Amino acid sequence: TQLLEQSPQFLSIQEGENLTVYCNSSSVFSSLQWYRQEPGEGPVLLVTVVTGGEVKKLKRLTFQFGDARKDSSLHITAAQPGDTGLYLCAGARSSNTGKLIFGQGTTLQVKP
């Protein structure tokens, strides 16, 4: 059972376009992380959201945590080829010992 549904799984767009990646769950998370991974490398932490309704911005990336802390979104404005990579959302349950539940990942390709 996939506890964190991430969509879309694959996305190919032209440079300059906007896009949104979604992570949805029926479970409540105490926090949710977004990571970006390039081929042959480990995931790199982009942001952590903790409070329901929280919005965080990282340059052209906007992250939002749902009011009920069951879902999150990543919006990229004016995508660039350097944004190409695998984006992963990962949620932490309040009862665990640090284990993260990962979404399926979104492979993003931005064409110049």
Binding site for another protein (CB under 8 A): 6, 30-31, 33, 35, 40-45, 48, 86, 88, 90, 92, 97-100, 102-105, 107
CB nearer to another protein: pick between 18 and 37: 37
Contacts of 75 (CB under 8 A, 6+ apart): 18, 19, 20, 21, 61, 62, 63, 64
CB nearer to another protein: pick between 18 and 31: 31
CB nearer to another protein: pick between 51 and 77: 51
Whether residue 35 contacts residue 88, with contact meaning beta carbons closer than 8 Å, is answered with yes
